[in-house]
């Protein structure tokens, strides 16, 4: 599977463009702020119906515009084509079509065209809150497990209902008990899927990081959840008085955490920028592996500013890896087109290059 072409209108600083891509490697160069990342985000949006960088569409539209649109043609492994269109309005309306047919639910689109983004913004996975790491797990699982996405949506709705009840002057505990049972059923599924995913991620991250770092350091990934203690139904029952005082639900999978360590020490505090970047690249490559294994097709891989903070040895290893047959279509952005071209051409001739200025793209 690969993205043959894309057209974008009023998407961020892209007023209007239509581009044809290589099925293997595509390089996008340009100065900072010109639109390299915006093109990668447009490709991501076409697969996920949302921006990689924001959970809201408020920053999606070109300045002064109230509408934006993306259209793309995917070539599938049997050489058939799917034409996808996404139309967005500033008032929140969004229409997603596959071959001119509107999806009844946008969630039906998620996972059909798997995609992985590696970006400088990934540092939030190391330095940000636990919510960012939970979002990362949900991002992966929502593309490979429709049931997980449904359970996650139900769980979040139930938590909102429970917290609303806890804020009332007189709490209806019978209703809380009913919600607790429903929460526990969904939480059990979410916990099991996250635990399985983290185990798979750790094994694969370890291998990729060892290759990137020359095996000099040991990286670990540990999943932490309240459900490792007991069922959520029991935990909620035991903590009802505490929750009544706090007026929110203090335990559950919405509090899950992942710890990253380097040689037994917190990566956030003890890892250099280069070590953190190598870990994040390894983490995303592990995500790629898992998604390819479960989908049966290679996800599209977006490498945004990937050369930054990696030494040349690690860059060359990464490029030699992704240029191989195991990986599919790849998009790479870099501000230095000479550097990018000199590295890429050593590994493959199947490449298209584009240069961007103020949201306008020129094929080189």
Give the domains, in start order, of the chain with CATH numbers. 1-114+297-364 (3.40.50.300), 123-296 (1.20.1050.90)
User: Helix, strand, coil % (nearest 5) of the chain?
Assistant: 45, 25, 30
Q: Of 179, 153, 154, whose CA–CA distance to 166 is shortest?
A: 179
- d(C-alpha 277, C-alpha 118), whole Å: 10
Residue 47, by phi and psi: left (phi above 0), alpha (psi -120 to 50) or beta? Answer: alpha
- d(C-alpha 114, C-alpha 47), whole Å: 7
Question: Would you tell me how many other CB atoms lie within 10 Å of the CB of residue 169?
Answer: 4
Flag the least confident range among 10-14, 227-231, 337-341, 355-359. 337-341
State percent of the chain over pLDDT 90.
74
- d(C-alpha 130, C-alpha 70), whole Å: 32
H helix or E strand, kind and range, residue 209: helix 173-213
State percent of the chain over pLDDT 70.
100
Q: Check pLDDT > 80 for residue 324.
A: no
Going by DSSP bridges, is the β-strand pair 67-75/2-11 parallel, antiparallel, or unpaired? antiparallel
The arithmetic mean of pLDDT across residues 303-311, rounded, is: 80
| Average pLDDT for the chain | 92
Q: Check pLDDT > 70 for residue 353.
A: yes
The arithmetic mean of pLDDT across residues 170-176, rounded, is: 92
220: helix, strand or coil: strand
H helix or E strand, kind and range, residue 146: helix 146-166
* More confident of the two residues 18 and 344: 18
CA 357 to chain centre: 27
Paired strand residues for 184: none
- d(C-alpha 104, C-alpha 333), whole Å: 35
- Confidence tier at 321 by pLDDT (50, 70, 90): confident
Q: The pTM is what?
A: 0.90
**Confidence (pLDDT) at 273:** 87
Sign of CA dihedral 344, 48, 186, 168: positive
287: helix, strand or coil: helix
**Confidence (pLDDT) at 217:** 85
**Confidence (pLDDT) at 309:** 65
Question: pLDDT tens digits for 221-279?
Answer: 999 999 999 999 999 999 999 999 999 999 999 999 999 999 999 999 998 888 898 89
**Confidence (pLDDT) at 345:** 77
Paired strand residues for 300: 115
For residues 25 and 348, the answer to whether their CB atoms sit within 8 Å is yes
For residues 38 and 11, the answer to whether their CB atoms sit within 8 Å is yes
- Confidence tier at 333 by pLDDT (50, 70, 90): very high
Q: Check pLDDT > 90 for residue 21.
A: yes
User: Tell me, what DSSP letter sits at residue 339?
Assistant: H
Q: Check pLDDT > 90 for residue 153.
A: yes
- Token couple for 235: 């935990």
- Token couple for 94: 């969004």
Place of tokens 């999606």: 60
Q: How far apart are the first and last CA of the chain?
A: 24
Going by DSSP bridges, is the β-strand pair 265-266/257-262 parallel, antiparallel, or unpaired? antiparallel
Q: Check pLDDT > 90 for residue 49.
A: yes
- Confidence tier at 317 by pLDDT (50, 70, 90): confident
Under 8 Å CB-to-CB from 73, ≥6 apart: which residues? 3, 4, 5, 6, 81, 82, 83, 84
Question: pLDDT tens digits for 95-151?
Answer: 999 999 999 999 899 989 999 999 999 999 999 999 999 999 999 998 889 899 999
- d(C-alpha 245, C-alpha 243), whole Å: 5
The arithmetic mean of pLDDT across residues 327-347, rounded, is: 83
To the nearest 10 degrees (0 to 180), the angle between helices 312-322 and 173-213 is 110
**Confidence (pLDDT) at 216:** 78
């Amino acid at each position: 599977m690969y993205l043959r072409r894309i057209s974008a209108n009023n998407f961020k600083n892209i007023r209007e463009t239509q581009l044809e891509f290589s099925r293997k490697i595509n390089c996008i160069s340009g100065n900072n702020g010109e639109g390299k990342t915006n093109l990668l985000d447009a490709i991501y949006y076409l697969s996920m119906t949302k921006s990689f960088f924001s959970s809201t569409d408020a920053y999606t539209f070109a300045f002064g515009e109230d509408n934006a649109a993306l259209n793309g043609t995917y070539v599938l492994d049997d050489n058939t084509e799917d034409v996808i269109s996404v139309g967005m309005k500033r008032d929140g309306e969004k229409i997603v079509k596959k071959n001119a047919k509107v999806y009844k639910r946008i969630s039906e689109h998620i996972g059909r065209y798997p995609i992985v983004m590696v970006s400088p913004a990934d540092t939030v996975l190391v330095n940000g809150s636990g919510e960012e790491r939970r979002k990362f797990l949900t991002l992966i699982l929502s593309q490979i497990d429709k049931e997980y996405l449904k359970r996650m949506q139900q769980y979040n709705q139930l938590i909102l209902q429970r917290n609303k009840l806890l804020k009332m002057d007189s709490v209806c505990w019978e209703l809380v008990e009913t919600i607790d049972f429903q929460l526990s059923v969904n939480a059990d599924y979410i916990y099991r899927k996250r635990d399985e995913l983290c185990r798979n991620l750790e094994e694969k991250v370890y291998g990729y990081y060892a290759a990137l770092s020359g095996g000099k350091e040991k990286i670990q990934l540990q999943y932490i959840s309240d459900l490792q203690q007991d069922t959520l139904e029991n935990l909620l029952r035991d903590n009802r008085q505490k929750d009544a005082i706090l007026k929110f639900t203090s335990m559950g999978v919405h509090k899950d955490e992942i710890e990253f360590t380097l040689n037994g020490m917190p990566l956030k505090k003890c890892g250099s920028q280069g070590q953190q970047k190598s870990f994040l690249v390894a983490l995303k490559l592990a995500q790629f592996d898992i998604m390819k294994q479960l989908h049966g097709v290679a996800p599209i891989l977006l490498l945004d500013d990937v050369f930054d903070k990696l030494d040349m040895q690690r860059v060359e290893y990464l490029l030699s890896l992704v240029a191989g047959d195991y990986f599919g279509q790849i998009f790479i952005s870099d501000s230095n087109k000479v550097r990018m071209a000199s590295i890429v051409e050593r590994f493959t001739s199947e490449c298209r290059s584009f240069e961007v200025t103020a949201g306008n793209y020129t094929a080189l």
